Amino acid sequence: MNMCIFCKIINNEIPCTKVYEDDKILAFRDINPAAPVHVLIIPKKHITSVNEINEDNAEVVGHIFAIAAKLAKELGVDSNGYRVVTNVGTQGGQTVEHLHFHLLGGRNLGWPPG
Ligand code: 5GP
Ligand code: ZN
């Protein structure tokens, strides 16, 4: 079994502030928030990054986005706007090698990103 840091959070070996959980995914507050709302949404099954998404495991990504929309409403950022983003690899800025989507909102977000 892969025991990356996010797998440990899923297994309750590392605490987190959960905002949503079901049998397929978990959403929790980022430990180092980059915006007033900063939630990470992850699949419970370990997938390293977008590089590993394929026709067999892609369904969970749609589910993650459906829950991102629900959480954006609950967290009050849906009308002003927000960003859902995933970093891939070294140049993409990925620091945790378990697929995760950042839900960021509550301030003006710059574009293009750094
Ligand atoms: P990445 O840089 O890979 O796109 O995003 C990883 C994110 O995970 C970062 O925003 C970082 O703050 C967050 N993070 C890293 N370790 C932990 C942790 O143990 N708990 C929580 N809640 N977030 C973490
Ligand atoms: Zn993992």
What pLDDT, on the 0 to 100 scale, is given for residue 46?
98
Q: Is the CB of 7 under 6 A from ligand 1?
A: no
Alpha helices in the chain (DSSP H): 5-10, 59-74, 89-92
Per-residue pLDDT at 2 exceeds 80: no
Q: What atom of ligand 1 comes closest to residue 94's alpha carbon?
A: 3
Alpha-carbon gap, residue 1 to 83, rounded angstroms: 32
What pLDDT, on the 0 to 100 scale, is given for residue 1?
59
pLDDT tens for each residue of 45-69: 999 999 999 999 999 999 999 999 9
Is residue 102 annotated as part of the catalytic site, yes or no? no
Per-residue pLDDT at 91 exceeds 80: yes
For residue 75, which amino acid is it? L
Q: Is the pTM of this model over 0.95?
A: yes
Q: Which ligand is nearest to the CA of 100?
A: 1
Sequential DSSP letters for 79-103: TT-EEEE---HHHHT--SSS--EEE
What pLDDT, on the 0 to 100 scale, is given for residue 48?
98
Probe target for ligand 1 pocket from 13, 14, 32, with the most ligand atoms within 8 Å of CB = 32
